[in-house]
Amino acid sequence: MEDVNIKEIFENIYEVDLGDGLRRIATRSIVKGKKVYDERIIKINNEEYRIWNPNKSKLAAAIINGLKIVPIKRDSKVLYLGASAGTTPSHVADIAEQGMIYAVEYAPRIMRELLDACAERKNIVPILGDANKPQEYSHIVEKVDVIYEDVAQPNQAEILIKNAKWFLKKGGYGMIAIKARSIDVAKNPKEIFKEQKEILEKGGFEIVDEVDIEPFEKDHIMFVGIWRG
Ligand code: SAM
């Protein structure tokens, strides 16, 4: 056991003080003895905590940068769009340990890595699919409490709205990591964020939190919205 201080800052999300002055967060691993990426594991009282790297996960970056609303809870059902190799989804699965994560990824090559990450996490359902076409996975995904989206596409706000119409409970939450350069390389990122926020609001979301995730990711913002439909 290492000499650490640990404190729960959101449901199943912990702040870990290793005594070196760096702010770290972690989730309690639901699969002991298994890393998903090269995350550091800390053992405390027979539990393993996976240090959540903000350079590899925009959700960790947003939390470290002061996100006030983290709607993913112990029993949440989450639709995760743009699951990639499973880095952030694995932490989301640690948080929603009694819930379910529907993890959509459209690149078959990356899907293989996602399957590895999911192999022992029984609360992740990997789905090879295009987030632009929710009807194609509507036979698998049920109504969810949260949609988390990180697809880095020009129409990412529209994708969130489209999926919310299919799957998000009224009063549920949408979280979206917006990458300005995926939308327009020439335009001022602040302008882009304002426009994307307007699209989300017109589409039915009440934006209740937003945080810039620099310096971990350049020109990225995380929006959290409540689905009013
Ligand atoms: N969210 C991941 C994490 O934090 O571990 C990283 C996601 S990465 C920035 C974006 C991913 O979205 C890529 O793996 C890409 O293949 C996927 N993607 C892009 N467009 C998509 C779409 N229309 N449907 C599903 N996945 C998509």
Question: What's the distance, CA 7 to chain centroid?
Answer: 21
- In this structure, the residue with its CA closest to atom 17 of ligand 1 is 82
Kindly list the domain boundaries of the chain, sorted by start residue.
5-52, 60-227
Query: Which residue has the CA at smallest separation from atom 16 of ligand 1?
Result: 107
Q: % helix / strand / coil in the chain, to the nearest 5? A: 25, 35, 40
Which positions ≥6 away from 59 have C-beta within 8 Å?
A: 88, 91, 92, 148, 175, 177, 222
**The pLDDT value given to residue 2:** 56
Residue nearest to atom 14 of ligand 1 (CA): 84
| Structure tokens, 73 | 């809870």
* Most ligand 1 atoms within 8 A of CB, residue of 78, 105, 155, 162 to mutate: 105
Residue 222's SS3 state is strand
Tokens found for residue 8 = 């729960």
> What mean pLDDT is predicted for residues 84-88?
97
Classify 5-52 by CATH class: alpha beta
Architecture of the structural domain at 60-227: 3-Layer(aba) Sandwich (3.40)
pLDDT given for residue 176 in this prediction: 98
Q: Determine the pLDDT at residue 89.
A: 98
Backbone φ and ψ of 185, nearest 5°: -75, -25
Report how far ligand 1's centroid is from the alpha carbon of 159 (Å).
Answer: 12
DSSP secondary-structure letter at 111? Answer: H
Q: Which of 226, 224, 227, 228 is nearest to 59 (CA)?
A: 224
Q: How confident is the model at residue 229 (pLDDT cuts 50, 70, 90)?
A: confident
User: Tens digits of per-residue pLDDT, 4-56?
Assistant: 889 999 999 999 998 888 889 999 999 998 899 999 999 998 999 999 999 99
pLDDT in tens, 125-184: 999 999 999 999 999 999 999 999 999 899 999 999 999 999 999 999 999 999 998 998
Coil, strand, or helix at residue 187?
coil
